[in-house]
Amino acid sequence: MNTIERIKTRRSIRKFTDVPVAKDTMNEIVSAASYAPSWKNSQTVRYVVIESAELLQKIANDATLGFEHNKGIISGCKTLVAAVTTSGKCGYNPDGTFTTSKGDKWEAFDAGIAVQTFCLAASELGVGTVILGIFDEALLGQLLGLPEGQYVAALIATGYPDVEPKAPARKDVSELIEYK
Ligand SMILES: Cc1cc2nc3c(=O)[nH]c(=O)nc-3n(C[C@H](O)[C@H](O)[C@H](O)COP(=O)(O)O)c2cc1C
């Protein structure tokens, strides 16, 4: 499959088989994700792979902000990945001031690119993913023992797809593009 086909056929997967993602496969996905572009090649995103059934259940029960939909997804996956980033590196000058008017928003920008690269690489290897944005950031930081200055940018539930979802509708190119 070429890159454009991969981009178009990757789907968010919310139901997984019981087969966990092997460490070798996860390492290969993260290796591919490490090629994502980042602010001055700062590469701030780290991947915390949660395999402990006990920790997964605790996150599902306590760190989904009461959003049952995400609780169900996390309860049903064997491998949850926390994409963790570090504050104060993307978007800054060496003296600590912001480089652009976007301030520290480049941090989330870099994490987004890294996470999409992760999801595309996973899809290439037959691993399904869904990005989860609704979670209790402070509690997750505690549960994962993240040091000061690091936080979870996004969760990615991973596993082997047990469903074949149709692509949600996309806007027409004419709505997305403007030439000047
Ligand atoms: C930043 C972000 C946060 C998301 N959060 C959630 C979420 O909390 N729960 C969920 O089921 N899907 C979540 N999604 C997945 C989107 O719903 C999904 O990407 C979108 O519906 C398009 O479907 P597709 O990924 O299959 O193309 C999120 C996606 C992004 C990019």
Q: pLDDT of 4-17, one tens digit each?
A: 999 999 999 999 99
pLDDT of residue 54: 98
- Name the phi and psi angles at 100, rounded to 5: -135, 170
Residue found by looking up tokens 């590196």 in the block: 89
pLDDT of residue 91: 94
CA-nearest residue, atom 21 of ligand 1: 168
Query: Residue 94: CB within 6 Å of ligand 1?
Result: no
Taking a C-beta distance cutoff of 8 angstroms, is the pair 15, 161 a contact? yes
CA distance linking residue 114 with residue 163, whole number of Å: 25
Is the pTM higher than 0.95? The answer reads: yes
Q: Select from 8, 80, 110, 132 the residue to mutate for testing ligand 1; criterion: most ligand atoms less than 8 Å from CB.
A: 132
CA-nearest residue, atom 15 of ligand 1: 131
CA angle 151, 154, 155 (to 5 degrees): 110
Query: Which residues of the chain carry a pLDDT beneath 50?
Result: none
61 Cα–ligand 1 center, Å: 20
Residue found by looking up tokens 């008017």 in the block: 101
pLDDT of residue 32: 98
Query: Residue 71: CB within 6 Å of ligand 1?
Result: no
CA distance linking residue 50 with residue 39, whole number of Å: 27
Query: Residue 83: CB within 6 Å of ligand 1?
Result: no
Secondary-structure class of domain 18-161 per CATH: alpha beta
pLDDT of residue 42: 96
